[in-house]
Amino acid sequence: MKVRLPRRALAIGSALALTFGLAACSGGDQGGGEAGDTIVAETAFNLKTIDPHRQFEFTGSTIDTAIYQTALEFKDGDLTKPTDGLCSFEMSEDDKKMTLKLKQKDAKFSSGDPVTMDDVVFSFERLKGIKGNPSFFLDGVSIKKVDEETVELTSKKPNPALPYILPNASIGIVNSKVVKENEGTTDEKDGAEAFLNENSQGSGPYKVEKYDADSQVVLTANEHYNGPEPKYKRVVLRNVSAETQLTDIQSGQAQVAYDLNSEQAKQIDGSMGEIASLPSTRSLYIFNNTDEKLGGPAADPNFRKAVMSAIDYDKLTDLAGEGSQRMASLVPNEFVGAVPKDQAPEKDLAKTKKLLKKAGYDGEKIPFHYSSDQSVNGVDLAQLAETLQAQLKEAGINLALKPAPSSTQLDGFRSAKQPMGIGTWGADYPDPTNYNVFIPGGSVADRVNWKSDPKLKKLAAEAEKAKDSDRDAAYAKLYKATTDTGVWIPLVQPVNTVAVGSSINTYVSNADITFDFAKAE
């Protein structure tokens, strides 16, 4: 296996490379009538709650990252190496037990109460017990307080992914005393969500001042935070369209915009601010149904490989915008277990022609399904589908486009009756085990009726047994073999674009935290 320094260097260097020194300007008014110690950030809200143990959407995670500290962290955005957060950690030799030791003994909640291991235990138990969207993170994990500074997490099976899971904002540590006083429990009777939306109980650099899931959320500095005091004492996160975000960045009415596509980003010049292009953790791919009656030609391995060799991947990265990347598997390039980009599929029409002949394909139209109203990090899936249709037609492969609204398309994909189409996947946590759902027998593999593959089963068992640094190569081998089947054809890893206004002199933006409000100056 090649040494993959480019991938690791990108992950580690993302915070450094994207900690920009911007053009200096007045330190006074920040735009929009806000005072100079306020950041106005804008996004199209995907927000249902900021109760950390219930939220599972981008906007909620963005907010909770600023409010709550976690047991573990990713230093400088390096998603390949979990590090100490509120706690230090050790894994047992068999990866079944994690021992957490309280490390930040000076950490305090916004109430001034110290963070204790009782709070850590309660937070973990509440995450599991209330059965919210992120509760699966600790499935099969038991929690035991050993003493005032030690907690043990024990898994029924080896769980080397656990250190990669605990940094998630959905596992933020809450003030157990206050939450319990406001109907908080560790079972489905919990009634603290409304309280936590209005009265956050974290130990991070900010706390919530105002919560309106439809219009804006306002954060103010946590005076008891044990880290460096944020320069910007107030954060106003507003719910507006990408078009308004562009206008507001250009005029100075906002300092951060999350949703600009590549064309909009080009309209930001040096006098207005900077563009941070970050690796997205989303994967775009073609799925092929393996059931001959449902998939038709797509069920034939030779046809699938013909499709893979007929695509012009460089044009897809052009479509996705500057900073987007080729993918050799569905695992993002910054993760442990990613297949090196130099092993990604390549366009080869001579190969396509031979494979189509082997498959016996005679040009019949194949239904090709996708979400007509969905854009992933600026990549319009309708435009992507039309691009693929044109490219494959050049190779003699005919797609019959079948657009549908996102909800309808997702239901159709889950029904396992669609022959081909475009799929998307966003990582729940940066560990290759999050992609086991694509292996035969996994929940997503079921959507293409892929029930078994002895070779992949063997490689998956080997990867599960791999330890420490050996996991990287073992999972890369598994997912390279998965790509080779053509059941999933990786298309492009899009780019996550953040626009930062020129009134901010320096900032940190990386693969872990899209924009760190507390470190902006």
Per-residue model confidence as pLDDT tens digits over 371-381: 999 889 889 99
What is the average pLDDT across 424-450? 96
Interior/surface letters 110-121, b for 16+ CB within 10 angstroms, e for the rest: beebbbbbebbb
Please report the pLDDT score of residue 22 as a whole number: 37
pLDDT digits (tens, 9 = 90+) for 292-323: 999 999 999 999 999 999 999 999 999 998 88
- Structural domain contains residue 516: no
Please report the pLDDT score of residue 482 as a whole number: 98
Q: Looking at 21-25, 37-41, 266-270, which range is the least confident one?
A: 21-25
Confidence of residue 262 (pLDDT cuts 50, 70, 90): confident
Contact yes or no for 252/501 (Cβ under 8 A) = yes
Please report the pLDDT score of residue 349 as a whole number: 98
Q: Looking at 14-18, 61-65, 184-188, 491-495, which range is the least confident one?
A: 14-18
Please report the pLDDT score of residue 256 as a whole number: 98
Please report the pLDDT score of residue 35 as a whole number: 52
Q: Looking at 23-32, 113-122, 153-162, 373-382, which range is the least confident one?
A: 23-32
Please report the pLDDT score of residue 343 as a whole number: 98
Please report the pLDDT score of residue 36 as a whole number: 83
237 with 339, same domain? no
47 with 107, same domain? yes
- Structural domain contains residue 167: yes
What is the average pLDDT across 278-295? 95
Percentage of the residues of the chain whose pLDDT score is greater than 90: 87
Tell me how crowded residue 488 is: count the other CB atoms within 10 A of its CB.
26
167 with 47, same domain? yes
pLDDT digits (tens, 9 = 90+) for 463-490: 999 998 899 999 999 999 999 999 999 9
Please report the pLDDT score of residue 322 as a whole number: 85
State how far the alpha carbon of 232 is from the alpha carbons of 220, 284, 520, 521, in Å. Answer: 9, 36, 7, 7
63 with 112, same domain? yes
CA torsion angle 421 426 428 433 (round to 10): 60
Please report the pLDDT score of residue 351 as a whole number: 98
162 with 286, same domain? no
Contact yes or no for 20/93 (Cβ under 8 A) = no
pTM for this prediction: 0.87
CATH of the domain at 294: 3.10.105.10
- Structural domain contains residue 363: yes
Q: Looking at 8-17, 45-54, 196-205, 417-426, which range is the least confident one?
A: 8-17
- Structural domain contains residue 504: no
pLDDT digits (tens, 9 = 90+) for 451-467: 999 999 999 999 999 99
230 with 343, same domain? no
Please report the pLDDT score of residue 29 as a whole number: 37
Between residues 136 and 15, the one the model is more confident about = 136
What pairing do the DSSP bridges indicate for beta strands 87-91 and 420-426? unpaired
Whether pLDDT at 494 is above 70: yes
- Structural domain contains residue 501: no
170 with 184, same domain? yes
What is the average pLDDT across 100-119? 98
Q: Which domain holds residue 94?
A: 38-277
Confidence of residue 263 (pLDDT cuts 50, 70, 90): confident
273 with 213, same domain? yes
- Structural domain contains residue 142: yes
Cβ neighbors of 82 (< 8 A, separation 6 or more) are 72, 73, 74, 89, 163, 164, 166, 167
Domain stop point among 246, 277, 308:
277
**In the chain, what are the helix, strand and coil shares in percent, each to the nearest 5?**
35, 20, 45
Whether pLDDT at 25 is above 80: no
Structure tokens at 427: 């990582």
- Structural domain contains residue 21: no
Structure tokens at 382: 């309708």
pLDDT digits (tens, 9 = 90+) for 207-232: 999 999 999 999 999 999 999 999 99
258 with 311, same domain? no
Domain stop point among 235, 252, 277:
277
Please report the pLDDT score of residue 6 as a whole number: 27
pLDDT digits (tens, 9 = 90+) for 135-191: 999 999 999 999 999 999 999 999 999 999 999 999 999 999 999 999 999 999 999
Domain stop point among 224, 247, 277:
277
CATH of the domain at 110: 3.40.190.10
- Structural domain contains residue 18: no
249 with 297, same domain? no
How many structural domains is the chain composed of?
Answer: 2
332 with 198, same domain? no
216 with 115, same domain? yes
Please report the pLDDT score of residue 321 as a whole number: 87
Average pLDDT, the chain: 92
